[in-house]
Amino acid sequence: MSTDIDPSAERTLPEWLSGRYVDDFANVGILSCPAEAPLEEVAWLMADNRVHALVVEGDDRNPPVISDSDLIAAVGSGHFDELSARDVAGTEAVSISRSDTLERATQLLTEHSVTHLVVRDDRWQPVGILSTLDVAKAISGR
């Protein structure tokens, strides 16, 4: 089901979004993997830590994120054993301030078609991850 949203229409925020901030729901800490890590290692890190995404290490100020969906797509490519984290990671990470609202987070997740945001502190240092599952937790009221 697809819903077209008119950006000019007046909006009422759902109750679960009111007064909720990224910092209230984000997972603190960044799990990462080396850019050259084989995908089997990436899969193990995700499974062992029970996460759906890792930040790919590198010199970039805004490194890419590799998700479980990226891994599944790599399996389908027929070249899984030849690829590294860098090869299959999505585009560079989309970031959000820990002091931003969940409303802003949902906008970024939707606009960029991503499932994870890198959460940054006041100095714009990465401090955590906010996922669509974290937003689902907010929706549930738990």
Distance set, CA 100 to CA 26, 55, 78, 85 (Å): 11, 21, 40, 29
Q: Which domains does the chain have, with CATH numbers?
A: 15-140 (3.10.580.10)
Q: Each residue of 37-68: pLDDT tens digit?
A: 999 999 999 999 999 999 999 866 778 899 99
Q: Indicate the pTM of the whole model.
A: 0.79
Q: Each residue of 67-97: pLDDT tens digit?
A: 999 999 999 888 888 999 999 997 778 999 9
Q: Are 22 and 130 in contact (CB under 8 A)?
A: yes
